[in-house]
Structures are given as structure tokens and as C-alpha cells.
Chains A and B, each alone.
Chain A
Amino acid sequence: MAVVELAFSALPVHVRTARLIVTAVARRSGVAETLLDEVRLAVGEACSRAVESHQRYCPEEPVRLELTGGKSRFEVIVSDTVPDDGVAGGPPAAPSSGEPGWDELGAGEGAADLGLAVIAGLADEVEIAQTPKGMQIKMSWPVEES
């Protein structure tokens, strides 16, 4: 079982780098080409959410990713170090853009929630856990038989 770990400063510019690395590792792990776009987008969403939360509450702390390529699943865990940052009822991790009008346009409660909805829609399996240390978003996709 191959494991790749990645930690990056909580800056938006690094989210693209994280997407590129995750896509490369997913491809090498045997995730089907047709699923790579979904991996890239879902992990990008999770990283964007973590970066925005860190910038608000702990900008000096890095965002961490753990990528695991197993025999049957490729798993990605994106971890932040912001305890109780929105899903469990704490202060919302709203986007820095502060765009207005989501509710009246039928887009849900906000872009941060929309990001989680996108993750749920794209990841084959997803678990979101709020721990005392922060939030963990675990996503996984099937791996093709080699």
C-alpha cells in the first residue's frame, strides 16, 4: 500500500499544486482516466475549504493531505487544524469573496456548503469527520484491476 503525504501553506496558490499531485498519484494508483477529473475537483474543493478556514483561524498552520493507493481503493484525506469550523455548528467557513445572493438564487446556504455538496457529488465514497483537532474529509474512488 503506497502512501504519499503532502503539507502545504494555507495559500490559494498552492491548491492547484495539490490538485496536480493528487491527480498524478491517482493515475499511478490505477484510478480510471474517466474518474480523474472527479478526483481532481473533489480534492481541490476540500483543499480550498481547508485553506479558507486556515486563513481565517490559523494561517500559519499547513493543510495536510494523505493519499493512499490500495488494491481496491484510492483514498485521499484532507485535514485542517481548525476545530469545529462550520459543519458542526461553529463559525462558518464562508468564502473570502463574500458573494451575495446564494439563498435567493437557489444555490444553498453558501459557497462553502456548496463545496461540500460538490465533494459529496463527486467522490465515490466520502466521510466528513469533525475532531477536536479539526476537520477531516476522507474521499475514495475505486482502482482498476491491473
Chain B
Amino acid sequence: MDLKVNDYTTDDGITVINVEGEIDVYTAPKLREKLIDLVNKGKFHLLVDMEKVEFLDSTGLGVLVGGLKRVRAHDGSLELVCTQERILKIFRITGLTKVFGIHDSLEDAQEKRKGQK
């Protein structure tokens, strides 16, 4: 299955990236290009919705870490929406649950963001 990547920006300035499909060594470059493109357009607060991601490997993790590095250079953020145990397991094995903010839903992420302001 090909990777589908779409984005939109909410009223409170978060750019939500909906990702659907498998993120692996073949498809990860598409997500990387999207993240780089958004940062180049000045979008520094990113929320990657991974609820429709069917597969994620270390190449995909690398792309997310690279995106986080890029937005942090602009005092931005890159957080995730994910409740799928099969995907969360990869973040736990690699210790990346300590690196990414991981939320249950878009609304949950927005609420926590408001609370931090």
C-alpha cells in the first residue's frame, strides 16, 4: 500500500499531518519530504496523526526524529497522535516515548497545548 500524506493547519496554528499506510524504507522519503516542506514554509508546530499507519519501522522513526530536530531548531514541536499498540510498541522498544509527545487524539493534543500556554 502506498503512503498517503495530507496536512492542514488548525485555527490555533498546529499543522496536522494525516499519514495513512505503511512507513518503511520505501515510503519514508515521502513523509520526510512533507516534513521538510512544511518547515520550509514556516510551519514549526506539527502534529502527526498516525492512527491510520499500518506499519512503522526504524526508517520511519528516523524521519520523525529528523523532523523533530528541524522544528526544534525553530523552537517548534513535533508530536504524535497514536493509540495503536503495534505502533506504540516500536516507540517503547526504542525509548522514543521519552522524546515524542504522544496523544490519544487531536483534541487531547490541543487541550494539552492550551494547558502549556
Using a CB–CB cutoff of 8 Å, the interface residues on chain A facing chain B are 12-13, 15-16, 19, 37, 40-41, 44-45, 48, 51-52, 95, 97, 99-102, 104-108, 111, 114-115, 117-118, 121-122
| B window 3-45: CB within 8 A of A | 22, 24-26, 28-29, 32
List 21 A-B residue pairs with CB atoms under 8 Å apart, sorted by A's residue number.
Answer: A13-B26, A15-B24, A37-B86, A41-B55, A44-B24, A48-B24, A97-B29, A97-B62, A97-B63, A99-B32, A99-B69, A100-B66, A102-B65, A105-B65, A106-B95, A107-B61, A107-B94, A108-B94, A117-B94, A118-B94, A121-B93
Contact B98 A114 (CB under 8 A): no
Binding site for A on B (CB under 8 A): 22, 24-26, 28-29, 32, 55, 57-59, 61-63, 65-66, 68-69, 86, 90, 93-96, 98-99
**Inter-chain contact A52/B25, CB cutoff 8 Å:** yes
Q: Which of B59, B69, B86 contacts A95 (CB 8 A)?
A: B59
Interchain Cβ contacts within 8 Å, total number: 88
Given A101-B69, A105-B69, A107-B95, decide whether A114 and B58 contact each other with a Cβ distance below 8 A: yes
